[in-house]
Amino acid sequence: MIFHSRILTSAVLAILFTACISGCAIFNPHAGSDLPPLLSQDELIRPYVKLGRIQVTRETYGSDYSLTPDIRAWGVAAVRHEAEKMGADAVMLLEVDGRTTVYGVIPSTEYRATGIAIKFK
């Protein structure tokens, strides 16, 4: 009976610990709906002012299997978050790319996302 209560107590503590450390990731108030949208040149029908060029880079050493399939999604999210910080209404001319170089035997990949933050008049 004591063995079962220890297992139950350990399980409850593990669940509470997991909920505490993942709480910020689960309940994100900026889930993406409030971020400035990406617009193409054809969608810009109102006059606007360019706030500035946004460039976000990420460099990884070795293999980066966690990011490789979602490079574009990472770039879109990173540029939109930076545009929100600038007070932009939208982002245009988004580009996401990456290049790999090898230093000795360790590959290094630099991912770069760029866009132009705009504010409508």
In which element (H, E) is residue 50 found? strand 48-61
- On the CB side of 111, CA atoms within 13 Å amount to 19
The domain segmentation of the chain, as residue ranges, is: 36-120
**Residue 20 pLDDT level (bands cut at 50, 70, 90):** low
User: Do the beta carbons of residue 80 and residue 88 sit within 8 Å?
Assistant: no
Residue 33 is encoded by which pair of tokens?
A: 């709906």
- Mean pLDDT of all residues in 74-81: 92
**Average pLDDT, integer, range 32-61:** 86
Strand partners, 107: 102
- The mean per-residue pLDDT over the stretch 83-110 comes to 86
The CATH homologous superfamily to which domain 36-120 belongs is Hypothetical protein apc22750. Chain B (3.30.110.70)
Mean pLDDT of the chain: 78
